[in-house]
Amino acid sequence: MKIRDLLKPESVIINADVDSKKEAIEKLIDLHDKAGNISDKDAYTKGILAREEESTTAVGEGIAIPHAKSESVVKPGLTAMTVPGGIDYDAPDGKPSNILFMIAAPLDGDLHLEVLARLMTLLMDLDLRGRLLTADSGDKFLEELNKAEAAKYPDEAEEKAQAAEDVPAAQAQDGKRKYQLLAVTACPTGIAHTYMAAEALEKKAEEMGMTIKVETNGSGGAKNILTKEEIAAADGIIVAADKNVSMDRFAGKKLVMTKVSDGINKPGELIEKVMSKDAVIYKKASDVSDFIGGGDLGEKEGAGHQVYKHLMNGVSHMLPFVIGGGIMIALAFLIDTIAGAPRDANFGTYTAAAAFFKDVGGVAFGFMMPVLAGFIAESIADRPGLAVGFVGGSIATLGCTFGAPAGDAAAVSGFLGALLAGFAGGYIVILLRKVFAWLPETIERMMPVLIIPLLGITLMGIFMCAINPAVGALNTGLSHGLKSMSGSSEILLGCIVAGMMAIDMGGPFNKAAYVFGVGMLATGGYNIMAAVMIGGMVPPIAIALSTTFFKNRWTPGEIKSGPVNYVMGLCFITEGAIPYAAADPLRVIPSCIVGSAIAGGISMAMGCTLMAPHGGIFVFLTVGNVAGYLLALAAGAVAGMLMLALMKKKQTREAA
């Protein structure tokens, strides 16, 4: 959809008088409301703020494009403003943002991605940005955008005709255009930076008199996909990506791999490097991580961040199996409880309905360790690591040893073993690639289908059989130690894991506590999972209570958004507290940690258990001692509220 179809002159504010990100968002939403683009201003605001919580929508170079898909959008629309002095919008380059667009998109489809890509393509033009900033009216602003869009996106027939004229006969191959350069751009969210890098590479290649095709690996999927013929005919390939992309297809080609930001800021250097005679020839045997960071073109990714990224790749793929399977198993126990079944070894399978949920949920839950290990290995070594990691994760659940290849219950290494298997699997594959790098190309083609699976799985089997006894003993000792905890030590553990859920509200500490709780489900640590979930529920509820009963501690906007946190907290969505924590971290975060720790400690003290790994209030029927759990939740939330009241300063009339 064209920009001119979405943006009207009356939806543009020229030289807006705003001093903050919050104020800018409010004014842009007001414009949507006046234009009739949205039916529920509060619901749309919630969507915009939720998107900002994920990561800033400022893309740098003075541009910010907040956006949201919402059921409140009755018709797609754009609003815009210019801010001469700029505002702090948490841009990744640290620069103030002075041109802002806001996209309102309906829930169905990916209109926001199409508009975002088109906007970023247009705004890569420095001259256009200058003209927009000097526009003296909404009509002039829109006129400049329309001219740029018409020039960049001519009618399809004209574009095809022009393209045919521009392609020399020497570049035609079987009726298809031959590209000297190919590129892939991708960023973690797959939105703005993906398309900014693509546009920068295209413009620089055109300036240098070269032809290029760029594949954008965005959140809506890969677009403009490179074909086998194009890859075979290309002189060089640039991969500017901050996430994993398919690399095996580029084997044997000159290749530069770097950060997506280098694609935006250093397109000329990248093109010169990949076209030089010293460019690296990419082989499947190469360690992809050697390329990340671009060598002399940029800093290498930190080892700690790499480990965290690989781990989160495994965890993110594992969670659907854990949550779906875990809740089904919890429902099986609930059904048998209602039916009055005895709590013996067959509990959860006495009734037909319970048996169905238990068996199907057990199948899903059983994939937890293999999927975790497999996708950690895949993150490290690309697709060839997947099978090796999966096998390692399965061996961890069986407890295979040299003395008992079929499995030994005492040697089941569980979650810890699966973690080790994932990282070991990735680096085993990388090692095999390096060891067999000397193979001729005809034999090298057998690497991903024969050599790596055969040798990789064999080496993984040897590795896991060697470590399973020790890790299994450690795992068993940890499980027994946790189960034997009582009194103050058990309460302290509940305080720690629950408090960790509130430290960064979705970050590494939060994820570490959650993953620990999920891992303990497999060994019967249901009290730990209960403490973990209640620790994640407290921060939003504490903030909602504070905005309800201590309004003079909050701004009008924070008070207005406060009630939403009741729902988010009850649904176990800790991230609802992030905007409040970001605005006043020194007071909000400690208050939330204290509230969560109190709730976790009380939950442990009252013997509360939880067999489901997620769900919030929707799985309370599966909680052991639900009355005690509700009491713990209320106590933690009230404690957090009172601490916020003590720590936060009263808002002045001007601030409010």
Indicate if 400 belongs to the active site.
no
Q: What is the mean pLDDT of residues 194-216?
A: 86
| HEC sequence for 63-87 | EECCEEECCCECCCEEEEEEEEEEE
3-state secondary structure of 624: strand
* Torsion sign, CA atoms 330, 334, 336, 342: positive
pLDDT at 295 over 50: no
Q: Which residues are 97's β-sheet partners?
A: 87
Count, residues in the chain: 656
The 10s digit of each residue's pLDDT in 219-263 is 556 788 888 888 988 889 999 887 667 777 888 888 988 877 788
Of 188-202, 371-385, 437-451, 546-560, where does mean pLDDT reach its minimum?
188-202
* Angle in degrees, CA 12, 16, 19, rounded to 5: 135
**12-13 and 77-87: which strand pairing?**
parallel
**pLDDT for position 653:** 43
Distance of CA 30 to CAs 12, 72, 87, 103, 328, Å?
Answer: 11, 14, 18, 13, 44
Cβ 574 vs Cβ 506: under 8 Å = yes
| Per-residue pLDDT band at 288 (split at 50, 70, 90) | very low
Q: Residue 286: its pLDDT value, please?
A: 41
Per-residue pLDDT band for 296 (boundaries 50, 70, 90) equals: very low
Structure tokens belonging to residue 576: 């609802």
Q: What is the pLDDT of residue 558?
A: 82
User: Would the pLDDT of 132 be above 60?
Assistant: yes
Continuous segment of H or E residues that includes residue 221: strand 221-223
From residue 394, how far is each of 114, 322, 417, 478 by CA, in Å?
Answer: 41, 15, 10, 21
Radius of gyration of the chain from its Cα atoms, rounded to whole angstroms:
28
Catalytic residue among 187, 400, 592, 608: 187
Domains annotated for the chain, with CATH where assigned, are 3-154 (3.40.930.10), 169-297 (3.40.50.2300), 303-472 (no CATH), 488-647 (no CATH)
Looking at the predicted structure, is the pLDDT value of residue 99 above 60?
yes
> Residue 581 pLDDT > 50, yes or no?
yes
CB 12 within 8 A of CB 141: yes
Where do the DSSP E strands lie in 88-154?
Answer: 97-105
Beta strands in 379-530 (DSSP E): none
% of the chain at pLDDT higher than 90: 30
| pLDDT band, very low/low/confident/very high, at 646 (cuts 50, 70, 90) | very high
CB 62 within 8 A of CB 96: yes
pLDDT of 174 above 60: no
Q: What is the pLDDT of residue 221?
A: 60
At residue 168, the pLDDT reads 44
Mean pLDDT in residue range 498-504: 89
Task: Please state, in angstroms and rounded to a whole number, the distance separating the CA atoms of residues 102 and 24.
Answer: 10
The region of weakest confidence among 104-108, 544-548, 627-631 is 104-108
Active site residue 67: yes
Q: Which among 577, 565, 581 has a CA at the least distance from the CA of 647?
A: 581
> Sign (positive/negative) of CA torsion 623, 627, 632, 633?
positive
Query: Which of 20 and 519 is assigned the larger pLDDT?
Result: 20
The active-site residue, picked from 67, 112, 193, 614, is 67
pTM: 0.52
Cβ atoms of residues 217 and 163 within 8 Å: no
Helix (H, G, I), strand (E, B) or coil at 450: helix
Q: What is the mean predicted confidence (pLDDT) over 20-26?
A: 92
Question: How do the residues of the chain divide into helix, strand and coil, expressed in percent and rounded to 5?
Answer: 60, 10, 25
How large is the average pLDDT for residues 536-561?
A: 89
Angle between helical axes of 368-381 and 303-338 (0-180°, round to 10): 160
Range name among 146-160, 186-200, 462-476 with the lowest pLDDT average: 146-160
Q: Has residue 494 got a pLDDT over 50? A: yes
Determine the average pLDDT of the residues in 192-214: 84
Q: How confident is the model at residue 583 (pLDDT cuts 50, 70, 90)?
A: confident
Pick from 580, 572, 591: which is nearest to 503 by CA?
591
- Within 250-292, strands assigned E span 255-258
Res 110: pLDDT? 65
Sign of the CA dihedral 630, 636, 637, 642? positive
Three-class secondary structure of residue 100 per DSSP: strand
Helical pair 414-435 and 384-398, crossing angle rounded to 10 deg: 150
**Is 202's pLDDT higher than 50?**
yes
The pLDDT assigned to 549 comes to 93
DSSP count for the chain of H helices, then E strands: 26, 13
pLDDT for 588-613, tens place per residue?
999 999 999 999 999 999 999 988 77
> CA 582, 584, 585, 589 torsion: positive or negative?
negative
**How many other β-carbons are positioned within 10 Å of the β-carbon of residue 549?**
12
Q: Which of residues 432 and 260 earns the better pLDDT score?
A: 432
- The angle subtended at Cα 209 by Cα 204 and Cα 210, nearest 5°, is 75
602: left (phi over 0), alpha (psi -120 to 50) or beta: alpha
Portion of the chain with pLDDT greater than 70, in percent: 85
Alpha-carbon gap, residue 476 to 365, rounded angstroms = 20
pLDDT class for 172, splitting at 50, 70, 90? very low
Beta strand pairing call for 172-173 and 212-218: unpaired
